[in-house]
Structure 1
Amino acid sequence: MSIEIKAPSFPESVADGTIATWHKQPGEACKRDDLIVDIETDKVVMEVVAPADGSLSDIIVAEGGTVLSNEVIAHFTAGAAAPAQAEEGPSAATATDQPDSSGPAVRKLLHENNLHATQVTGTGKGGRLLKEDVLNYLKHPTPVAVVTPVAPVTPAPAPMAKEMPKESTNQMVSPSSGPQHRTSRRVPMTRLRATIAKRLVSAQNEAAMLTTYNEVDMSPIMALRKQYKAQFEKAHNGTRLGFMSFFVKAAAEALKRYPAVNASLDGNDMVYHAYQDVSVAVSTDRGLVVPVLRDVEAMTLADIEKGIVDLANQAKAGKLTLEEMQGGTFTITNGGIFGSLLSTPILNAPQTAILGMHKIQDRPVAENGEVVIRPMMYLALSYDHRMIDGKEAVQFLVTVKELLQDPARILLEI
């Protein structure tokens, strides 16, 4: 029975998609719900799976092709696989099984670098290909020798060092001595990264963006975490108490007091939101994404920590949905996890402000007339001056600082 394989139904905000990777080829056996193809849109990668046991009969839209919502992209034959597939030897099965056992991030990395899974040695369980394996291969590419069966021959004396056989089909020749090879790769920009670039440039060109800075003493929060870390983790089923939840709660409280920072711009209209949906920037292999924590003003610290971990794991696995990435009213980005000491974050349009966290570093500060060493963090608030006055922006950032330096005020809402 022949079945049409169609692209998923795209939301109204997504016009079309691009065929990123065909994971199955015509005649290749697959089981029901096996991944067939990845379709990349401006925001997420959508996966299309096999509707039944069987195989692809033909592919209509090749990799790199543009597809519309519900467009037919291939035909599928339900039932047994093509005879050629069943007759393939163990080595061929291994070649096709390996990429299927890899995660979306690995498959995407292989596709972007024009690699096949058989070129890279997997070090995971059962030979599973890991992201680190691909990255190590890209740093130190090692050709894979192809071994073919040959008839047994009588061993001969080993040739001298300078002697080379005149004819050899299975030996790899090492690169000649001299300077290292100078190579370049040209990789098309993915739709997601192109969209990110377009939005960032648009934010800088269209918004009257300004950034104000401050610094916060992290000693109180660090002491609080140290005192209650074990109890918190035990009480909340292994959820760890991090710094991010304090910043999200402090930002939510400050947003209540300064609603313009929580607003968005829609044409000539200023839209003020009576809720706080905080977008949290997450770095992935495909680019920076900003999934949203909904109604953070009603969430506990444990709820926030769990939510951030779940969204980050989904983002890195490429499993985020469009709904989880839309509708934020304010954004927090943490460059400190990569070692950034100070930066100027770019607005996440149509939001009017974004808070940047940075690395915690011991620095000398004046306290009660004395110089003391404190773990300090620089904070940066970029905002759209068209909607937010400098006074509001500075007061918002000072409020966040005061709440973080005295965490009890977050609970008391003072």
Structure 2
Amino acid sequence: MPKMGESVQEGKILRWVKNVGDRIERDEVLLEISTDKVDTEVPAPASGVLVELLAKEGDTVEVGKVIAKIAVGAVSVEAATAPQPTPQPAAQHVPQPAPHQAPAQTTNGTAAAVHSPSVAPAPVPPQGRTMKIPRKHGERFYSPLVRTIAEAEGISLEELETIPGTGLGGRVTKNDLLRYIQQRAGSPAQAPQPVAPALAPQHVEARVAQPTPQVITSPPPPQAPKPSWGPDVEVIPMDRVRQLIAEHMVRSKHTSPHVTSVAEADVTGIIRAHQLYRDEFQRREGIKLTLTPFFAKAIVDGVKQYPMVNVSVDGTNIIVHKNINLSFATLLPDGNLIVPVIKKAQLLNITGLAHAITDLATRARTKKLNPDEIQGGTISLTNMGPWGSLFGTPVINQPQTAIIGVYAVQKRPVVKEINGEDVIMIRHMMYVTITYDHRVIDGALGSSCLRAIVQSLEAMNPETVQL
């Protein structure tokens, strides 16, 4: 199982593309896997014949564990898949264990040997072990490392649920768990009380036992009654990706107090530049020029001016990111969403952003992204214009604290002041939103960043755009 990212510890086999006996070439797709980050294809590491599958579809396998064997080189399929003879072990003399002897009394009082079969003692469970910790319980996920440590330390699932998590979306990290274990070990243990010597009756004192303090836990909130659906519905189970999206969205709304600010941008200059340069750009660069790179460039320009929107929250600390790693929402063929990340977007011009967006979006739709390519984002862009949406309030992509929305461009009559006179003109107008985490971004900061983004959008035209 290949390592698909720094935080990925296991992968689930979705589908074997090749079967035992198939000849495969290096870098040819061998199987499809899913992690808690992304679904992706795994290429063959070498050319040869696939001779054995050691894990089946649906299995979850730890990173580094062998899942298949390939006979490398010019070996024939028949030779590679022929069953190997099993060597017969040499006959060995195994001495019989000595029977257990127990003394028994005979009728004449002498000891007689009683032969009884040896009985193996029942296995004793190792100390400090407890029930298996599931990967997910309720709204919480537990990494393989956290589960392993908890099981080794004898921490139950109920106890694990009480540990405050400082990781992504409140997950319990290794450090959280180790800190809890250290605190638990450091708490004063109940010292054994020495046994008091027996006192003479005339010196006996009345002693009242102190009550043991009881830990009172609040009962869990009542579960909402499960709805009873009628016969005129179709029940469609969520796939794995949709479950992850749902969990992430709910967690974000529970984590961040969302505030949305709105502004209107005149993007007539961008529309004209796009119409003027798109054909020549495609001939020169080999990719289509869309409006999204223009929007991405304006966001980067605005964030440069207001870096305190490019932050994350870690407990009571604000983490300021030095690079602008721009996440952008991408629609997948199955209707789900994925959010690839343009790393160090502040170093790219519109042409560089266009290439990065095209490359990441194409590989996202063909399941060729690595998990690291959807991690590390510091601020997000969502473009709902292609579906005709005029306005929205996006959900923050945790652990980020801001997401910028761009929407449909419409031609509208707008009042402009030219040479001191008000003039009604037909302009290409677009709403822009910024949704931010009010824990660390106030209205003045969020609106100022939004204004800077709008100013960058309105400054682009055929004369100023550099492609």
Fold match (TM-score > 0.5):
yes
What is the distance in 2 between the residues matched to 1:292 and 1:17? 21
After TM superposition, the score normalised by the length of structure 1 is 0.66
Deviation at 1:389, TM superposition (A): 0.6
What is the distance in 2 between the residues matched to 1:189 and 1:354? 26
Deviation at 1:195, TM superposition (A): 2.3
Deviation at 1:272, TM superposition (A): 1.1
Aligned to 2:121: none
1:324 aligned to 2:373? Answer: yes
Aligned to 2:66: 72
Aligned to 1:119: none
More deviation, 264-273/199-208? 264-273
Change (3 A) 1:195 1:39: same
Please list the CA deviations of residues 332-353 of structure 1 after superposition, one character each: whole Å capped at 9, or x if unmatched.
1111122222221111111110
Equivalent runs, 1:215-294 vs 2, <5 Å: 215-233=264-282, 236-285=284-333, 287-294=336-343
Change (3 A) 1:12 1:308: closer
Deviation at 1:388, TM superposition (A): 0.4
Contact preservation (8 Å) 1:403, 1:409: no
Q: Which has the larger radius of gyration?
A: 2
Aligned residues: 306
Deviation at 1:250, TM superposition (A): 1.4
Aligned to 2:23: 30
Amino acid at match of 1:247: F
What is the distance in 2 between the residues matched to 1:210 and 1:410? 36
1:406 aligned to 2:455? Answer: no
Structure 2 residues not aligned, in runs of 5+: 82-231
Change (3 A) 1:301 1:43: same
Give the percent of matched residue pairs that are identical in Structure 1 and Structure 2. Answer: 31
Equivalent runs, 1:138-177 vs 2, <5 Å: none
1:204 aligned to 2:260? Answer: no
Aligned to 1:19: 13
1:62 aligned to 2:62? Answer: no
Aligned to 1:376: 429
Deviation at 1:270, TM superposition (A): 0.6
What is the distance in 1 between the residues matched to 2:259 and 2:329? 20
After TM superposition, what 4+ stretches of structure 1 lie above 6 angstroms from structure 2?
Answer: 408-412
Amino acid at match of 2:406: M
What is the distance in 2 between the residues matched to 1:241 and 1:302? 9
Q: Which secondary structure state, in structure 1, belongs to the residue aligned with residue 30 of structure 2? A: strand
Deviation at 1:217, TM superposition (A): 1.5
Q: Which secondary structure state, in structure 2, belongs to the residue aligned with residue 54 of structure 1? A: strand
What is the distance in 2 between the residues matched to 1:31 and 1:224? 48
What is the distance in 1 between the residues matched to 2:238 and 2:68? 24
Please list the CA deviations of residues 192-250 of structure 1 after superposition, one character each: whole Å capped at 9, or x if unmatched.
3332222221111110111111121121211223344445455x434544322222221
Q: Which secondary structure state, in structure 2, belongs to the residue aligned with residue 201 of structure 1? A: helix
Amino acid at match of 1:271: I
After TM superposition, the score normalised by the length of structure 2 is 0.59
Contact preservation (8 Å) 2:6, 2:372: no
- Cα root mean square deviation, aligned: 2.9
More deviation, 335-344/347-356? 335-344
Aligned to 1:214: 263
Q: Which secondary structure state, in structure 2, belongs to the residue aligned with residue 363 of structure 1? A: strand
